[in-house]
Amino acid sequence: MTNDDFQSWVQAHQALIESALQDCLPQPGVAPPRLHGAMRYAVLGGGKRVRPLLAYASGELSGADLGRVTRAACAVELIHAYSLVHDDLPCMDDDVLRRGKPTCHVEYDEATALLVGDSLQSLAFEMLAHPGLSGDSGVQLTMIRLLAEASGSRGMAGGQAIDLESTGKTLELPELESMHIRKTGELIRASVVLGARCGEIDEAGLGQLDRFAKSIGLAFQVVDDVLDAESSTATLGKTAGKDSKDNKPTYVSLLGARQAKEMARELYDFALSALAGFGERADRLRQMADFVVQRQF
């Protein structure tokens, strides 16, 4: 597959998930209109949709039906979107810019932003419990438990809590890693596994995909730290240099930029090695690994 081919695959699937999110979110005219307008504002028209793309790539590997993967991809993106809305609130990161637009609580108000996040989380589970998502209801229940665990206090929300406590503290590398494995890694892992679960995959295959996803999730965060340290706010579409300003530990502050980039490369190599047994079926996931790691450098 050429790079051009991957570019058009990305664009086609970004359009597909955008359209599916448009449909699954309540229409702006449905009561209560302000809340529904704010939900659409927070989710639509922005973001690279990395998690949905990972689900699609993984679904291609397991021969999954596109409509099924789309529902699972909506679920992970809704969880991601809810976490951004809540993370941006004044009591958390207190950020005013996201995806090049005012954050949800700035455009609306804090109370609405709180309810937007709460409602997006409910909607994610509603999507994943849709009768058309899997031919096997038992597998589907496993998928719901996976997303709940990845989102909750031992997953994403837990990572966020550790992040809050770490502000102004010096973390060692293993602690920083443990925080990021929860904060961003678990949902990326869920995206890959849920995509594959929409098709046919055995336990050994799931184990390899899980290894791939863990590495790529961590690489994603290392790259994020490098971008945050080296990019401008205009390029990022969110406030740049915020972590160092907030005195938060990052891979760059712990290792320096050069070593952080090296670490991202090593994680990338490790991720690719986990795909070795799949042959050509995993080519999209390999391209996604490039996409995640090479974003800007």
Q: What is the DSSP string of 175-188?
A: HHHHHHIIIIIHHH
Q: With binding defined as CB under 8 A, does residue 226 bind a copy of itself? A: no
Q: With binding defined as CB under 8 A, does residue 89 bind a copy of itself? A: yes
* Segment holding 154, helix H or strand E: none
- Residue nearer to a copy of itself on the CB measure, 89 or 227: 89
Residue among 50, 51, 68 nearest 59 (CA): 68
Output the smallest distance, CB 264 to a copy of itself, in A.
26
Output the smallest distance, CB 284 to a copy of itself, in A.
29
Integer Cα distance of 108 and 2 in angstroms: 43
Give the torsion sign (CA, 6, 10, 13, 19).
Answer: negative
Q: With binding defined as CB under 8 A, does residue 119 bind a copy of itself? A: yes
Q: With binding defined as CB under 8 A, does residue 117 bind a copy of itself? A: yes
Q: With binding defined as CB under 8 A, does residue 184 bind a copy of itself? A: no
Which among 31-39, 200-208, 224-232, 272-280 is the span making contact with a copy of itself, rule CB under 8 A? 31-39
Q: Give CA separation, 137 vs 55, 110, 143, in Å.
A: 19, 38, 10
Q: With binding defined as CB under 8 A, does residue 181 bind a copy of itself? A: no
The site for a copy of itself, by CB under 8 A, has a size of 53
Residue among 186, 75, 230, 200 nearest 139 (CA): 200
Q: Which SS3 state, helix, strand or coil, does residue 102 take? A: strand
Q: With binding defined as CB under 8 A, does residue 39 bind a copy of itself? A: yes
Output the smallest distance, CB 24 to a copy of itself, in A.
12
Integer Cα distance of 202 and 278 in angstroms: 12
Which positions from 139 to 178 touch a copy of itself by CB under 8 A, shown as an x/- string? -xxx-xx-xxx-xxxxx-xx-xxx-xx------------x
Q: With binding defined as CB under 8 A, does residue 208 bind a copy of itself? A: no
Q: With contact defined as beta carbons under 8 Å apart, do 230 and 243 qualify?
A: no
Integer Cα distance of 17 and 128 in angstroms: 15
Query: Binding a copy of itself by CB under 8 A: which of 3, 29, 31, 234?
Result: 31
Integer Cα distance of 14 and 11 in angstroms: 5
Which residues would be at the binding site for a copy of itself (CB under 8 A)? 26, 30-32, 34-36, 39, 82, 86, 89, 91-92, 109-112, 114-115, 117-119, 121-123, 125-126, 129-131, 137-138, 140-142, 144-145, 147-149, 151-155, 157-158, 160-162, 164-165, 178
